Structures are given as structure tokens and as C-alpha cells.
């Protein structure tokens, strides 16, 4: 029995130094692996509305669904900041403001884009919406044919207002009028 006890004691004595050695001295175990990742890069463009320093503040600026509020307009009197009166005639007056459009591209060989715009529905009676001198209807019209990507491009929104009385070709007076303008950028 003493031999068995001596062998067991020798085993413990041999094991204790091994446990006290640092991990590096005992040898580290390492495993490695590989992940094969696949990326599919899609090309595309995005249209973003930004406020112009000369124009009104946009709601939802920096997005593709911004809003522009001209405030209360009249042929005479004070207008909202960023809105200017450009023409007062016997049958109409025109107010305007500036806004910027940025078309962002990625992965394209195209160096420019065409910008078009249209009214989502017919304009309210007595109002005409004009962008960069182009009168909008419900059919898309080219606003810009050689736009530069990744830069803010200034545009002018003009609103021509008939001075005729409501019911005689003029717009409703004293009520907010809302119109949606749809813009489309197409790579050239």
C-alpha cells in the first residue's frame, strides 16, 4: 500500500508545478475560421430637398418629402421671410421663393441627371405653380436637363395668383390652399 500512496503523491507533485505554470508555458490552444461574405452593390440615385439661404425654411428638409409654406400672401403688404413679390399686374401677382434640390448618386456611370416636375392634382382655381420659369400641370415637364450630382442646385418656385374674385376665376380667399408638386430625377 505504501507504494500506491507514494505513486499517488508523486503524481500530485508532478501535477502541481504544471498547474502553477502560466498558460503560455503550458501551450495555448487556438482555433480559426473563415466567413465568406458576399456584397451586391446596387447603383441608384436619391432626391433630397434642402432649404436655400434665400428661401423659406422647409419642413422635412434633407429628405425627399419636404414641405414649403409660403405663409399668407397678398399683392400688397408684408410677406413671410424668404418670400418675395416679383410682379403685380392688373390681373395677377406673383410671389416666389428659392429651394435647393440635391440628387445623390452611387455606383453610376452617369455624369448628370434630368429633373422633371408635375402637379399631383390640378392646381386650385386662380393659381399657377411655376418652377424655374416652367408652368406645371399634371403632366411631367423638364425643369433641368443636365443637373450635377451630389451638390445643392438652387431652384425658384413661383406662384402666380389671379386677382379675379373667387367664383370669377380667382382663388379662394382666407383659406389655406395646399398643392403637391412631384419631382423626379432621372440619370442621363
Domains and CATH numbers, the chain: 44-187 (2.60.40)
Q: Is the pLDDT of residue 103 over 70?
A: yes
> Is the model more confident about 31 or about 134?
134
Residues contacting 86, CB < 8 A, separation 6+: 94, 95, 96, 158
**Average pLDDT over every residue of 85-94:** 95
**Average pLDDT over every residue of 89-95:** 96
- What is the model's pLDDT at position 9? 52
Q: Is the pLDDT of residue 171 over 50?
A: yes
**Are the C-beta atoms of 97 and 84 separated by less than 8 Å?**
yes
Residues contacting 151, CB < 8 A, separation 6+: 102
User: What gap in Å lies between CA 133 and CA 143, rounded to an integer?
Assistant: 8
pLDDT band at 7 (very low <50, low <70, confident <90, very high): very low
SS (H, E, C) the chain: CHHHHHHHHHHHHHHHHHHHCCHHHHCCCCCCCCCCCCCCCCCEEEEEEEECCCCCCEECCCECCCEECCCCCCCCCCCCCCCEEEEECCCEEEEEEEEEEEEEEECCCCCCEEEEEEECCCCCCCEEEEECCEECCCCCEEEEEEECCCCEEEEEEEEEEECCCECCCECCCCCCCCCCEEEEEEEC
pTM of the model: 0.77
pLDDT band at 46 (very low <50, low <70, confident <90, very high): very high
**What distances in angstroms separate CA 188 from CA 42, 127, 183, one per listed residue?**
17, 32, 16
Residues contacting 125, CB < 8 A, separation 6+: 166, 169, 170, 171, 172
Cell numbers that stand for 55 in this block: 428661401
Q: Is the pLDDT of residue 138 over 80?
A: yes
Torsion 84-163-67-102 (CA) sign:
negative
User: What gap in Å lies between CA 94 and CA 70, rounded to an integer?
Assistant: 12
Q: Is the pLDDT of residue 160 over 80?
A: yes
For the chain, the average pLDDT equals 87
- What is the model's pLDDT at position 175? 84
Amino acid at each position: 500500500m505504501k507504494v500506491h500512496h507514494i505513486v499517488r503523491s508523486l503524481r500530485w507533485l508532478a501535477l502541481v508545478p504544471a498547474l502553477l505554470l502560466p498558460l503560455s508555458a503550458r501551450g495555448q490552444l487556438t482555433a480559426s475560421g473563415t466567413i465568406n461574405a458576399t456584397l451586391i452593390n446596387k447603383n441608384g440615385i436619391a432626391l433630397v430637398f434642402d432649404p436655400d439661404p434665400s428661401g423659406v425654411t422647409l419642413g422635412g428638409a434633407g429628405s425627399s418629402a419636404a414641405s414649403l409654406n409660403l405663409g399668407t400672401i397678398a399683392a400688397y403688404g408684408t410677406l413671410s421671410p424668404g418670400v418675395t413679390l416679383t410682379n403685380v399686374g392688373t390681373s395677377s401677382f406673383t410671389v416666389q421663393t428659392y429651394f435647393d434640390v440635391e440628387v445623390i448618386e452611387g455606383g453610376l456611370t452617369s455624369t448628370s441627371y434630368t429633373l422633371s416636375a408635375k402637379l399631383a392634382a390640378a392646381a386650385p382655381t386662380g393659381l399657377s405653380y411655376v418652377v424655374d420659369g416652367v408652368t406645371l400641370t399634371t403632366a411631367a415637364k423638364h425643369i433641368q436637363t443636365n443637373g450635377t450630382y451630389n451638390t445643392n442646385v438652387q431652384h425658384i418656385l413661383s406662384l402666380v395668383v389671379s386677382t379675379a374674385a373667387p367664383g370669377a376665376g380667382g382663388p379662394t380667399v382666407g383659406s389655406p390652399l395646399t398643392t403637391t408638386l412631384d419631382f423626379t430625377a432621372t440619370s442621363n
